[in-house]
């Protein structure tokens, strides 16, 4: 049962790594849902270099609720005329139990047409520590102007050290104005949706 | 009859001159993007730039070359920051060209370091700037 809970926690983080820090003074609301649980995450960025926030999780299967206090820090960024490359440190501490926490890095490189990303996360709890990693790549089939409706076709592969096998699935991402909507389908988590609003 | 013809000819000449003047004026406004600034041609989207100029008078436009603008969130952050600046009359972000267009009054002094700092605070880099007076 412990392993199932941990797996659910890890699945809930799908998609939350996208745009982990806002512009200076910006706030972001994220909602995430799949057939097993709902997650709600708010973060504020005092500077473009880091964001602080809280993620609240509702477990639909076990009826459990818990929260993470989260910090994301931009370790390195490289801007060019056509691209941006980022490397982030991420961490979270369970508000009920400081011994339950996670930390890791994730990075991305993107242009207006292509996206490539990866992540590694170590989760420590008092039951069974585990790690997870993912890679993600995407393509924008057309290039919209600022304010247009944007679409991304993506592919994500993820592996959890408890599960020991890769989960591969397609992701569709839509983006307009302040809103981002992402759908992914995994054979493990089935439909996986992610909504983000930045202000 | 001769008088009437003379008046008609004069009126025709006046209207023609006025029309010619309008055409020249329009032509000038519509091709500001072809101006050479500091020996460089403006690298702007002509249609977008002309649209940006609509309604602007006695203004100067800073055309800022920005690196790292790859999505709408980058653009929105820059737009929000400059909109808070009372000296800024209008702003537009051209993602495809990597340009930020910022309009100021003619009497304002444009400080590129201030612009650079604002853009860096949003996580991008301003590389250079050209200023066009209207």
DSSP conformation letters of B7-46: HHHHHHHHHHHHHHHHHHHHHHHHTGGG-EETTEE--S-H
> Residue A24: its chain B contacts at CB < 8 A?
77, 81, 121-122
Confidence category of residue A191, pLDDT binned at 50, 70, 90: confident
> Residue B76: its chain A contacts at CB < 8 A?
23, 177-178, 198
The Cα of A177 is separated from the nearest Cα of chain B by a number of Å equal to 7
Q: For residue A10, give both structure tokens.
A: 């890890």
Neighbours of A142 (CB within 10 A): 9
Q: Which domains does chain A have, with CATH numbers?
A: 2-198 (2.40.160.40)
Q: Do B68 and A147 touch (CB under 8 A)?
A: no
Residue with tokens 């960024």: A77
ipTM of the complex: 0.78
For residues B68-106, one letter each, b for 16 or more C-beta atoms within 10 angstroms of the residue's C-beta and e for the rest, the string is bbbbbbbbbbbbbbbeeeeebbbbbbbbebbbbbbbbee
A127 Cβ contact list (under 8 Å, min separation 6): A2, A6
Least confident range from A14-23, A72-81, A140-149, A159-168: namely A14-23
The Cα of A196 is separated from the nearest Cα of chain B by a number of Å equal to 12
**Mean pLDDT calculated for residue range A13-32:** 75
Asked whether the predicted pLDDT for residue B14 surpasses 60, the reply is: no
pLDDT above 70 as % of chain A: 85
Measure the CA–CA gap between A87 and A76, rounded to whole angstroms: 5
Question: Of the segments A95-99, A188-192, B13-17, B78-82, which one has the largest average pLDDT value?
Answer: B78-82
Give residue-wise pLDDT tens across range B83-94. 999 999 999 999
Q: Which residue has the higher pLDDT, A146 or B29?
A: A146
Query: Chains A, B: CB contacts under 8 A, how many?
Result: 72
Confidence category of residue A30, pLDDT binned at 50, 70, 90: very high
Average pLDDT, chain A: 85
Measure the CA–CA gap between A70 and A43, rounded to whole angstroms: 8
Least confident range from A89-98, A160-169, B31-40, B80-89: namely B31-40
| Cβ atoms of residues B125 and B69 within 8 Å | no
**The model's pTM:** 0.78
A58: enclosing H helix or E strand: strand A50-59
> Residue A111: its chain B contacts at CB < 8 A?
70
Question: Of the segments A11-15, B21-25, B97-101, which one has the largest average pLDDT value?
Answer: B97-101
> Residue B70: its chain A contacts at CB < 8 A?
82-84, 110-112
Residue with tokens 């995994």: A186
Mutate to test the interface with B, among A19, A21, A23 (most CBs of B within 10 A): A23
């Amino acid at each position: 049962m412990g392993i199932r809970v941990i797996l659910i926690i890890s699945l809930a983080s799908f998609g939350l790594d996208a745009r982990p820090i806002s512009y200076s003074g910006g706030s972001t609301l994220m909602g995430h849902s799949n057939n097993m649980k709902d997650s709600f995450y708010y973060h504020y960025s005092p500077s473009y270099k880091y964001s602080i926030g809280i993620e609240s999780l509702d477990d639909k299967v076990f009826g459990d609720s818990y929260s993470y206090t989260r910090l994301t820090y931009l370790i390195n960024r490289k801007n060019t005329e056509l691209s941006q490359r980022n490397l982030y440190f991420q961490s979270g501490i369970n508000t009920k139990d400081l011994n339950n926490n996670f930390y890791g890095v994730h990075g991305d490189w993107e242009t207006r047409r292509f996206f490539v990303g990866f992540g590694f996360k170590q989760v420590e709890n008092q039951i069974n520590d585990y790690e997870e990693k993912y890679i993600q790549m995407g393509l924008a089939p057309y290039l919209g102007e600022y304010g247009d409706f944007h679409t991304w076709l993506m592919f994500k592969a993820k592996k959890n050290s408890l599960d020991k096998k890769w989960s591969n699935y397609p992701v569709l991402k839509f983006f307009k104005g302040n809103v981002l909507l992402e759908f992914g389908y995994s054979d493990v988590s089935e439909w996986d949706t992610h909504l983000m609003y930045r202000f | 009859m001769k008088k009437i013809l003379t008046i008609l000819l004069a009126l025709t000449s006046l209207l023609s001159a006025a029309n010619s003047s309008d055409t020249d004026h329009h032509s000038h406004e519509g091709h500001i993007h072809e101006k050479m600034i500091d020996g460089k041609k403006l690298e702007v989207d002509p249609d977008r730039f002309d649209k940006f100029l609509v309604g602007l008078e006695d203004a100067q436009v800073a055309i800022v070359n920005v690196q790292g603008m790859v999505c709408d969130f980058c653009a929105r952050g820059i737009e929000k920051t400059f909109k808070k600046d009372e000296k800024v009359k209008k702003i537009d972000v051209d993602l495809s060209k990597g340009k930020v267009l910022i309009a100021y009054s003619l009497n304002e002094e444009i400080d590129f370091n201030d612009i650079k700092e604002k853009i860096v605070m949003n996580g991008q880099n301003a590389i250079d700037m050209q200023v066009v007076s209207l």
